[in-house]
Amino acid sequence: MSRFAVESLPISGLGLVVRQKMEDHRGFLARLYCDEELETAGWDGTVSQINHTYTATRGTVRGFHFQRPPFSEIKLVTCIKGEVWDVAIDLRAGSPTFLQYHAEILSSDNRRALLIPEGFAHGFQTLTDDVEIIYCHSQPYNADAESGLNPYDEKLAICWPLPLTEISERDRNHPLVPDQFTGLENI
């Protein structure tokens, strides 16, 4: 039995990491990262940065964030406390699923993670209070390449599971997707 597997999702390149836990009377162990398994799913084997976020209030939205090429990154997103509705939006130029999104519930109970390839924007909504997330990034953060999409943008047609209770000023002010936007090139 594999203790770590990556399942394909409806949008090409997007993966769901399913972790098995080994339990005994002391508790459990679950593998958070596995080069071998992730490499077959598109990860390049490099972890350049690991970030940890805490979000206090249920209904909070963070995102949608991405890095423009040539600083595009792969992300592995894991919820280690609480529960989130985690969303990835395809921004790849020429993709048949351009501007479509896929969402998964990630929680400390299901131990799943979303593997997000280059060329996607990422965001989430907290489904519980006191949520903590760990992000592995394949590239270091580059402030000049930072960009985002507005979570209220009607072109994205996001069907949030809860009313939006909190959102940062920065995320609220991300621009709407312009009509002439054809996607991220060189991904």
pLDDT digits (tens, 9 = 90+) for 108-135: 999 999 999 999 999 999 999 999 999 9
pLDDT at residue 32 in the model: 84
Say if residues 152 and 159 touch (Cβ distance below 8 Å): no
Note if 135 is an active site residue. Answer: yes
Indicate whether 150 pLDDT > 70.
yes
Give 36-92 pLDDT, tens digit per residue. Answer: 888 888 888 789 999 999 999 999 999 999 999 999 999 999 999 999 999 999 999
Topology given in CATH for the domain delimited by 4-21+29-172? Jelly Rolls (2.60.120)
Give the model's confidence band at 1: pLDDT under 50 very low, under 70 low, under 90 confident, else very high: very low
Note if 65 is an active site residue. Answer: yes
Question: How wide is the angle at C-alpha 12 spanned by C-alphas 11 and 15, nearest 5°?
Answer: 80
**Dist. CA 117–CA 184, nearest whole Å:** 13
Task: Name the catalytic one among 33, 54, 65, 152.
Answer: 65
Give 160-181 pLDDT, tens digit per residue. Answer: 999 999 999 999 999 999 999 9
pLDDT at residue 153 in the model: 96
Sheet bearing 120-126, strands edge to edge: 101-107, 83-90, 120-126, 61-67, 146-148
Q: Which residue ranges make up each domain of the chain?
A: 4-21+29-172
More confident residue, 19 or 166: 166
Task: Name the catalytic one among 135, 137, 152, 174.
Answer: 135
Say if residues 90 and 120 touch (Cβ distance below 8 Å): yes
pLDDT at residue 2 in the model: 61
pLDDT at residue 15 in the model: 95
